[in-house]
A and B are shown apart, each in its own frame.
Chain A
């Protein structure tokens, strides 16, 4: 594991030093792409906390939107600093997650039904934001009131955001790893396999399910706040509803949801792909970039069902096993 640890440290050092590498005019753009990758990877990791145990949510947009709108509205209307706004957003989203997850777990909504109920939850939040247009701005969205400095959590220098979201991403990985090594993982895996059997050996099914949902929702809300602070604009269609919810799931499944770096690999790949196609096509052939994106996603899902990271790892293992056997 020492080689892996060394590699991870080198990668981390590289990421930390990156903003100071001279890149000419490209720096700002590179940082912009990387910041987005970190934020969405964090959100993807939060999603996979639930997804890996068979709780495939198609409504994480609800938590994202709730988080982003809470901090933005508090700041715009009452001048509450987004630091406190983020706490309020996390608290509110956590509460909302309990309200949704408790009955879902009590009444044993699983499988397809779980996906569809969460999808409906996502749509409820998106449409509610649009319906309350008097104070949320409706479909037009809302601009985060501009101000500079630590209190407003807005910075002109992208490097500040870069380090902020890098830390956020690392924290997300730490939480993922913590869950991975805890009792929760064993309990959740047992629940994912067979709820009745899990309950019969004394696992409190509802408590674990609601707990993991709240954790995932709260982190997603935090990701939403970070995104809103960075872009300084919130919109119900980009932060809530089916579109964004599916995009999160896509990235994670593409990377592989059962491994620590899976969500990050998937997110980095989908964002890089989307950016590349966007720049390649520019203003020509409107819709073509998204068309190819959709087509590639379909092909990836069909041919790499274990995700890119997962498939690669399996391939390496298969290569490594005969080699190890030959060495013995």
Chain B
């Protein structure tokens, strides 16, 4: 039998991981909901930004906070570049082509990173204190990302609900054609969405750098999980994606402790598949039809 203290620790780690996953899922969900294209390569943008953070911190000795700001800018630029170079030409093509174009981007970024930086795992190696409460270790490398991502998500919520552009973004995600008829330019909304989504990837990169080392296959490791969280939460449903992140991260974290890391993921994916049958509109969504 597993010591309950381990289970509790796993549960808390699950919550902390869930915070960062939620940030990733919200960024992807925003793009998904507005532009209606799955960016298979979304987490590979995170991977590129993590390399930026790594080099700024370890090679140039910049403080992580400053590197994080650069990473956000980097992410926003990457988001814009992806939208203009890859997404714009394929907006009107069948979904399978859109999926494959961003899939090609995934292969490209993955192998270009291998070419530039080899497959070595690179880590910023932070020395931050851990807290111990009643025998449970809470490392700050997990607590700080959790807190910052919650703040960032609140920021996104305010942006989407309180600003003019945010309202336009939500409007497009509800009805593309009607928005164009109202005289709004979908292209501008798309650009802002891609930049915001990219910036969130950049922020997530800075936060993930604190606890994970970066390597070219980082995107392949977290990518599928991120889509599944998005879909599980319901496309375009921000609250749903938020809840789904914690459901998935708890399953992975607890499953990892009780069985093995891979089995944790297997169970999470099986839960995703079954949920797709039971609640295709997402865990908070209504049943379709």
Compute how far the CA of A127 lies from the CA of B259 in the bound complex, rounded to whole angstroms. Answer: 13
Which residues of the partner chain B approach A19 to less than 8 Å between Cβ atoms? none
Partner of A117 from the list B103, B105, B273, B278 (CB cut-off 8 Å) is B273
* Size of B's binding interface in residues, CB under 8 A: 51
Q: Are A298 and B112 in contact (CB under 8 A)?
A: no
Asked if residues B224 and A117 are in contact (CB atoms below 8 Å), the reply is no
How close is A328's CB to chain B, nearest CB, in angstroms? 35
Q: How far is the CB of A287 from chain B (nearest CB, A)?
A: 3
**Segment of A75-83, A141-149, A289-297 engaged in the interface with chain B:** A289-297
* Cβ A250 vs Cβ B104 within 8 A: yes
A130→B95 contact, CB < 8 A: no
Interface residues of B in 61-111 (CB under 8 A from A): 86, 89-90, 93-97, 99-101, 103-111
Residue B161 is within 8 A (CB to CB) of chain A in the complex: no
* Chain A neighbourhood of B187, CB < 8 A: none
Of chain A, the residue at the smallest CB distance from B89 is A302
Render B257-286 as a binary contact track against A, CB cut-off 8 A, 1 for contact.
001101101100110110011101000000
Task: State how many angstroms separate the Cβ of B103 from the closest Cβ of chain A.
Answer: 5
The reply on B114 being an interface residue by CB < 8 A is yes
Query: Whole-angstrom distance from the CB of B283 to the nearest CB of chain A?
Result: 14
**A-B CB pair tally, cutoff 8 Å:** 145
Complex interface: chain A residues within 8 A of B223 (CB):
242
Determine the distance from Cα of A76 to Cα of B216 in the docked complex, in whole angstroms: 34
Which bracket fits the contact residues of A?
35 or more
Knowing A113-B231, A120-B224, A123-B224 are in contact, say whether A253-B97 is a contact too (CB < 8 A). Answer: yes
**Is A250 within 8 A of B269, CB to CB?**
no
Docked CA distance A242–B259 (Å)? 23
The answer to whether A127 touches B104 (Cβ under 8 A) is no
- Check A302 against B101 for contact (C-beta < 8 Å): yes
A269 close to chain B: CB less than 8 A: no
Q: Which residues of B contact A121 (CB under 8 A)?
A: 269, 273
Write the nearest CB–CB distance from B65 to chain A, whole angstroms: 32
Contacts A56-B96, A111-B95 known; A131 to B270 CB distance under 8 Å?
Answer: no
Instruction: Kindly identify which residue among B38, B96, B262 contacts A131, using a CB–CB cutoff of 8 Å.
Output: B262
Contacts of B109 in A (CB 8 A): 294
Q: Which of B108, B265, B273, B280 is in CB contact (< 8 Å) with A298?
A: B108
* Residues B180-235 near A (CB distance < 8 A): 216, 220, 223-224, 227-228, 231, 235
The complex places the Cα of A141 from the Cα of B280 at a distance, in Å, of 35
Complex Cα gap A109–B74 (Å): 36
Closest A-B pairs by Cβ, 6 of them: A294-B108, A287-B115, A290-B111, A294-B107, A287-B114, A298-B104
Supply 14 further A-B pairs (C-beta < 8 A) apart from A127-B262, A242-B224.
A56-B99, A108-B280, A112-B235, A120-B273, A127-B265, A250-B104, A285-B115, A286-B114, A290-B107, A297-B103, A298-B104, A301-B90, A301-B104, A302-B86
CB-defined A-B contacts under 8 Å, sample of 29: A51-B96, A56-B95, A56-B99, A113-B276, A117-B272, A117-B273, A120-B224, A123-B224, A123-B265, A124-B266, A127-B262, A127-B265, A128-B266, A242-B223, A242-B224, A250-B100, A253-B97, A286-B118, A287-B112, A291-B112, A291-B115, A293-B111, A297-B104, A298-B108, A301-B100, A301-B101, A301-B104, A302-B90, A305-B93
